[in-house]
Amino acid sequence: MSLRSSAPRVAALLLLVAFVTAPQLFSFAFEPLTANNAPAIYNQGSLLSLTLSHLRIVFLATLASTMLALALGIFVTRPSGHEFLPLSRSLVNIGQTFPPIAVLAIAVPLVGFGEKPTFIALFLYGLLPIFENTLSGLTGVSPQALDAAKGMGMSPRQRLFQVELPLALPVILAGIRLSVIISLGTATIGSTVAAKGLGEVIIAGLQSNNVAFVLQGGLVVALLAVLIHDGLGIAERVAARRSGRPLDEAR
């Protein structure tokens, strides 16, 4: 990657790090947005620790979604699991159609306030992109390569790990990336049920009618999303190159 194309990314990363570690440095930029001598910078907790909690819950939820969606995607593309494809599809689709806020409302009475209901909402919401991409990745593997693999005496397990998954990897990664980005934004609503995260900053701003807070929370989430999107995009391109596709063909 050339220096010029990576320069904005590096700048965004530096900006983000500087802002969450020493937000006071930026108070001059937010002061014009405040009224009645309200604080310009979020003062009810450390932005750094909120950011880390936010990332942590997104990471854990995506990890869980990935494991289940990947396992399910692999299972329904095997001959033995083929008949479960429609069922799995509907289940995963339900996970996506249920609004996360509704999931929170249902989950709180069951598991209590805090991170757990947020985790459940993000987990369900993140399944679909990963599952669908796993499916299309695995079914998109060249039938000739599969036939050759079988004809050379690879066992089903060897075919899966040596041929199918490596070739499907770029598409699966694209699904994970989509899921992470959705979760990063969605996780902010977790703060309504007392999960620690950047949603706290936004909600505090909304409650005290402080635009500066809302903007700060939103800005950090947005920067995180852009940077993670880019980072995973690079990983995808590396995987695509490894799977023998020319760069421009991989998204």
Partner 1 sequence: MIEIEHLTKRYGAAAIVDDVSFRVEEGTVAAVVGTSGAGKSTLLRMINRLVEPSAGRVLIDGQDTMAIPEDALRHRIGYVIQGYGLFPHRTVAENIATVPRLLGWDRRQIAARVEELLDLFGLDPAEFAKKFPHQLSGGEQQRVGVARALAARPALLLMDEPFGALDPVIRHKAQDELLSIQRRLGTTVVLVTHDMNEAFHLADRIAVMNQGRLLQYAAPAELLTRPAEAFVEQLVGSAERPFRLLSLMRVQEAVEPGTAEGEPLSVADTLHDALSRLIWLGREVLPVADASGAPVGRISVSRILAHGRARA
d(CA 213, CA 220): 11
Least Å distance between CB 180 and partner 1? Answer: 24
Least Å distance between CB 145 and partner 1? Answer: 5
Applying CB under 8 A, among 12, 29, 91, 154 the residue interacting with partner 1 is 154
Q: Are 118 and 103 in contact (CB under 8 A)?
A: no
Least Å distance between CB 137 and partner 1? Answer: 13
User: Residue 123, exposed/middle/buried by CB under 10 A (0-12, 13-18, 19+)?
Assistant: buried
Applying CB under 8 A, the site for partner 1 has a residue count of 22
Going by the DSSP 8-state scheme, the letter that residue 83 receives in this structure is G
Applying CB under 8 A, among 96, 158, 192, 208 the residue interacting with partner 1 is 158
Position 153 contacts partner 1 (CB under 8 A): yes
d(CA 43, CA 4): 37
Q: Using the minimum distance from each CB to partner 1, give the nearer residue, 31 or 147.
A: 147
Q: Are 55 and 198 in contact (CB under 8 A)?
A: no
Position 116 contacts partner 1 (CB under 8 A): no
In order, the DSSP letters of 209-230 are T-HHHHHHHHHHHHHHHHHHHH
Q: Using the minimum distance from each CB to partner 1, give the nearer residue, 109 or 151.
A: 151
Position 167 contacts partner 1 (CB under 8 A): yes
- Amino acid 145 reads A
Applying CB under 8 A, among 1, 24, 109, 244 the residue interacting with partner 1 is 244
d(CA 230, CA 202): 24
Position 148 contacts partner 1 (CB under 8 A): yes
d(CA 192, CA 5): 38
Which pair of tokens denotes residue 139?
A: 């079914």
Which pair of tokens denotes residue 69?
A: 């969606």
Applying CB under 8 A, among 163, 178, 187, 189 the residue interacting with partner 1 is 163
Which pair of tokens denotes residue 110?
A: 């069951």
Question: How many of the other CB atoms lie within 10 Å of CB of 120?
Answer: 20
Q: From 34-42, 126-134, 152-160, 189-197, give the range in contact with partner 1 by CB under 8 A.
A: 152-160
Least Å distance between CB 165 and partner 1? Answer: 10
Q: Using the minimum distance from each CB to partner 1, give the nearer residue, 79 or 246.
A: 246
Least Å distance between CB 132 and partner 1? Answer: 22
Q: Which residues from 12-71 bind partner 1, rule CB under 8 A?
A: none
Position 79 contacts partner 1 (CB under 8 A): no
**Contact residues: partner 1, CB under 8 A:** 142, 144-155, 158, 163, 166-167, 242-246
